[in-house]
Structure 1
Amino acid sequence: MIGLITAGGEITSPKVFMEEYNQSDFRIAADSGVEFYLRNGVVPDRVLGDFDSISKEGKSFIKEKKISVSSFPPEKDYTDLELCIDFLIEKGCKNITILGGVGDRMDHSLANLFMMIRFYKAGITITLRNDLMKIQVLEGKLSLKKEYEFLSVVPADPLGIVASLEGFYYPLDNRKIPLGSTLGVSNYIIEEEGHIDIAEGTAYIIQTNERKA
């Protein structure tokens, strides 16, 4: 099953939202993430959170549409987003997309990036996405078509990674990239598909577009 979580980060594109909405089996709004559904005229399967940042319109929307709610106190050990992930896992979701999981709150953004790795090691694939970016965790091989301007391979393993890239402007052949290196940043696909092989370690695959003026 595929799960979708809308969080309170940066996303305004109806196209991105509806694309993920339509291919998901179960959809959760994390607190103010319900605003995405309100703006696009669709309904989540559940709203979960402490409701400390949701608008009056959002609260009215939940009541009017009779949306199922899981409420938690503001003072708790886990973020609304992590509680949403746990809920989807209990529902049987192995692939989860989070819309708006990165934004102005750097503490939340970093925590979400590290959380992706923890769940990946447990067999749960999480993708973070907003209007301009898609972030995945990878061990092994992945082939991608050119959907974004840039693609970066960023080590997420304390021991670094060994990476090969084919179909990219800057190819790599079993290249060791240590943690903290920028070697894999700002590459881009030049062929029909780009092929990534992370032979050792764990990496973030970050696809991005530049913001247009």
Structure 2
Amino acid sequence: MNQPIVQSLQGVTLAGGGPFSARDLKFALSRAPVPVAADGGADRLLRAGVMPEAVIGDFDSLTEAARQAIPKARQHPMPEQATTDFDKALRSVSAPFVLALGFAGARLDHGLAVFNTLIRRAGQRCIVLGPSDLAFAAPAELELRLRPRDTVSLFPMAQVRGQSTGLEWPIEGLDFAPDGMIGTSNRVTAPLVRLVFDGPGMLVILPRRRLDAAIRALTQP
């Protein structure tokens, strides 16, 4: 990767152009206090009274008002159309983790593209926040401190096998694939859930109230 545009020792809140509330933004910034925008997400940040540290994207949805309000040094246009604004922004950030707001639920094709980027940029440790749940790309090994009866969904974006402890329905021996076996709506049976995968490609989906557990799991040494 080229020199990142944003380098932070703290978590980054990445705002997209999709809908999110002021409460959602406060929730994210309390954990990831560095605000960055992907294209039109800058307008949403400004409306919430937050100045982005950087705006990254092709700028096809950034309003003229936002261009005038944000210092030029913080604007980083990338006109190429081969990748999404989410991809452009995520690959341009170096931080312990990224919380992505405004990327889930607006359009189905956009949502699928976001999940594609999560898998391809798994090393960025990005968590996408939706209205009621969250999603991230699973590392090879993952330990999550959850509560019994919490829902854990596993959705494969590639062929992958794994092992688990702490789930009601163990995943050993299952051949996961996007056009085959999936693992949605599993349930937690123990305070510690351990997952091991034989390769990349698995999305983990948790209730949003377990965000802190997801952050700890992705950032622990």
Q: Tell me if both proteins adopt one fold, taking TM over 0.5 as the criterion.
A: yes
Out of 166, 169, 172, the residue aligned to residue 171 of structure 1 is: 169
State whether residues 30 and 47 of structure 1, in contact with CA within 8 Å, keep that contact through their aligned partners in structure 2: yes
After superposition, what is the alpha-carbon deviation per residue over 1:80-102, rounded to whole angstroms, capped at 9, x for unaligned? 222212221xxx32522221222
Tell me the equivalent position of 1:38.
46
After superposition, what is the alpha-carbon deviation per residue over 1:22-68, rounded to whole angstroms, capped at 9, x for unaligned? 3335421112212332343222111223332245xxx4355345472
| Matched residue type, 2:88 | L
Tell me the matched-pair count: 195
C-alpha separation in 1, matches of 2:171 and 2:154: 14
The answer on 1:128 being equivalent to 2:134 is: no
C-alpha separation in 1, matches of 2:14 and 2:62: 15
- In the TM superposition, residue 4 of structure 1 has moved relative to its aligned partner by 2.4
5+ residue gaps, structure 1, are: none
C-alpha separation in 2, matches of 1:99 and 1:204: 17
Identity %: 21
Give secondary structure in 1 for the equivalent of 2:89.
helix
C-alpha separation in 1, matches of 2:133 and 2:148: 10
C-alpha separation in 2, matches of 1:7 and 1:147: 33
| Matched residue type, 2:169 | P
- In the TM superposition, residue 149 of structure 1 has moved relative to its aligned partner by 5.6
C-alpha separation in 2, matches of 1:47 and 1:131: 24
Q: How does 1:7-156 map to 2 (within 5 A)?
A: 7-12=16-21, 14-24=22-32, 26-55=34-63, 59-61=64-66, 63-64=68-69, 66=71, 68-73=74-79, 76-88=81-93, 92-120=94-122, 123-138=123-138, 139-146=140-147, 150-156=151-157
State whether residues 28 and 44 of structure 1, in contact with CA within 8 Å, keep that contact through their aligned partners in structure 2: yes
| Matched residue type, 2:56 | L
Computed over aligned residues only, the root mean square deviation of the Cα atoms, in angstroms, reads: 2.9
5+ residue gaps, structure 2, are: 1-8, 209-221
Give secondary structure in 2 for the equivalent of 1:107.
helix
State whether residues 90 and 124 of structure 2, in contact with CA within 8 Å, keep that contact through their aligned partners in structure 1: no
C-alpha separation in 1, matches of 2:197 and 2:49: 44
Tell me the equivalent position of 2:213.
none
C-alpha separation in 1, matches of 2:61 and 2:175: 40
State whether residues 4 and 28 of structure 1, in contact with CA within 8 Å, keep that contact through their aligned partners in structure 2: yes
| Matched residue type, 1:112 | V
State whether residues 148 and 188 of structure 2, in contact with CA within 8 Å, keep that contact through their aligned partners in structure 1: no
Tell me which protein shows more strand as a share of its residues.
Answer: 1
The answer on 1:6 being equivalent to 2:15 is: yes
